[in-house]
């Protein structure tokens, strides 16, 4: 069984660089003292410690401890100390370790030109001192001293590049996640608007029918029971229809990502006859004219056309004057044109108290790549014209 906290130690080690530097500095200081006591095997004899040795160990510890805060000054000082140790006949390998650590730090935390210029300068200083005061030749051990500093610089440069690469990958992942979240929020917002349009279109028309026939039934229940019964039957039929369509919409909301499931309630111009019968039953006579042979349309365009006709006729019934409206559906080679007009008297018609009807129709038209215009047409009439593409267009709903 793992000891408690065993899995937390690597994270603690990474998040406490000061502790790492203190341990590394202590190790370098101990190395200086040990090499002074025992000497280098086959090269020097050990000797008792003196105060210069303790001073050198303290200097090495301090340099390693502050190397992250002042990397370039630490590299310069450590290179000079290593050169001085060589000139004084001290322990150059110990300060060579400090110089290599400082060169690594500079390369890992600065840019490449700074890293190689400073690392190369430190290597030249130590190498020159070794050649000048040891007399071992240009290609002897002094070259190895310079190689150690160069290798530390290369390792630090590689660490910096890897850290930058990992940081870039993580940033791209964060941006991709933000993009996915924004796309999900956008899709949710679009779906809410679509559902709101469907609910408005379904409920507004049938509630208008229910309202008209409920009023007729109330006024004729005692004088004309047969007409009251017929009105109640229309109310029941309209209520059943709106419940069926609401059930369809709610079923869509319960779908769990089934790609083969329908994404819209199945209503299109093929059901236009049923819609006109429903409107006629509510008391609005529609003069329907079709220009050109009917042809299949993309599902989104077909449904948008149906809902626009439904909303326009509902508005004509609720806000127009008279009991008649005109509907013209024209199948052009590239477009489907829908015209609805009705008398309004002297006032101006609007779709509903909130204006959502016209807004919803216009949004439906734009969503499939079409357009819609609505407003007074003169002679006391209100006119709605929708121009929809007969094929799906880029930017519209597929």
Task: Check residue 55 and give its pLDDT.
Answer: 75
Task: Check residue 254 and give its pLDDT.
Answer: 60
> Helix H segments across 66-111?
71-88, 92-109
Distance in angstroms (rounded) separating the CA atoms of residues 27 and 31? 6
pLDDT in tens, 92-103: 566 778 888 888
Task: Check residue 337 and give its pLDDT.
Answer: 94
pLDDT in tens, 12-27: 556 666 677 677 777 7
User: Which domains occur in the chain, in start order?
Assistant: 9-176 (no CATH), 284-398 (3.30.565.10)
Q: Is residue 373 scored above 70 in pLDDT?
A: yes
State how beta strands 285-291 and 324-331 pair: parallel
**Would you call 342 helix, strand, or coil by DSSP?**
strand
Q: Which tokens hold the place of 247?
A: 């059930």
Q: Is residue 133 scored above 70 in pLDDT?
A: no
Range ranked top by mean pLDDT from 34-48, 78-92, 283-297: 283-297
Q: Which tokens hold the place of 216?
A: 């007729």
pLDDT in tens, 199-240: 666 666 667 677 776 777 777 777 777 777 777 777 777 777
Distance in angstroms (rounded) separating the CA atoms of residues 203 and 245? 9
Between 339 and 43, residue with greater pLDDT: 339
Task: Check residue 31 and give its pLDDT.
Answer: 76
Q: Which tokens hold the place of 373?
A: 């215009």
Q: Is residue 132 scored above 80 in pLDDT?
A: no
Distance in angstroms (rounded) separating the CA atoms of residues 291 and 224? 41
Task: Find out whether 372 and 308 touch, Cβ atoms under 8 Å.
Answer: yes
């Amino acid at each position: 069984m793992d000891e408690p906290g065993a899995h937390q130690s690597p994270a603690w080690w990474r998040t406490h660089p000061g502790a790492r530097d203190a341990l590394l500095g202590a190790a370098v200081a101990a190395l200086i003292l040990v090499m002074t006591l025992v000497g280098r095997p086959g090269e020097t004899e050990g000797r008792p410690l003196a105060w210069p040795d303790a001073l050198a160990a303290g200097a090495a510890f301090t340099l390693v401890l502050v190397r992250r805060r002042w990397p370039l000054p630490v590299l310069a000082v450590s290179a000079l100390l290593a050169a001085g140790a060589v000139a004084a006949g001290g322990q150059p390998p110990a300060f060579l370790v400090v110089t290599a650590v400082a060169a690594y730090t500079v390369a890992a935390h600065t840019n490449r030109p700074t890293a190689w210029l400073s690392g190369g300068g430190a290597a030249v200083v130590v190498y020159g001192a070794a050649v000048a005061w040891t007399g071992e030749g240009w290609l002897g051990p002094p070259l190895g001293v310079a190689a150690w500093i160069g290798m530390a610089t290369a390792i630090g440069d590689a660490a910096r590049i890897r850290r930058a690469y990992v940081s870039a990958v993580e940033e791209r992942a964060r941006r991709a996640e933000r993009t996915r979240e924004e796309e999900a929020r956008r899709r949710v917002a679009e779906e809410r608007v679509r559902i709101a349009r469907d609910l408005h279109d379904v409920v507004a028309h049938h509630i208008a029918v229910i309202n008209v026939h409920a009023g007729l039934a109330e006024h004729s229940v005692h004088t004309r029971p047969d007409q009251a019964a017929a009105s109640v039957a229309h109310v029941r039929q309209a209520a059943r229809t709106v419940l069926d369509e609401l059930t369809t919409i709610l079923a869509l909301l319960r779908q769990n990502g089934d790609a083969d499931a329908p994404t819209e309630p199945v209503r299109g111009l093929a059901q236009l006859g049923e819609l006109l019968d429903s409107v006629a039953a509510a008391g609005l006579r529609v003069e329907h004219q079709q220009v050109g042979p009917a042809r299949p349309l993309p599902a989104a365009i077909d449904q948008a056309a149906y809902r626009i006709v439904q909303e326009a006729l509902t508005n004509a019934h609720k806000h127009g004057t008279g009991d008649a409206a005109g509907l013209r559906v024209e199948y052009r080679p590239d477009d489907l044109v829908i015209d609805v007009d009705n008398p309004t008297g002297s006032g101006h018609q609007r779709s509903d108290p909130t204006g959502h009807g016209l807004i919803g129709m216009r949004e439906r038209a734009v969503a499939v790549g079409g357009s819609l215009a609505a407003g007074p047409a003169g002679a006391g009439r209100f006119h709605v014209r929708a121009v929809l593409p007969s094929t799906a267009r880029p930017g519209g709903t597929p």
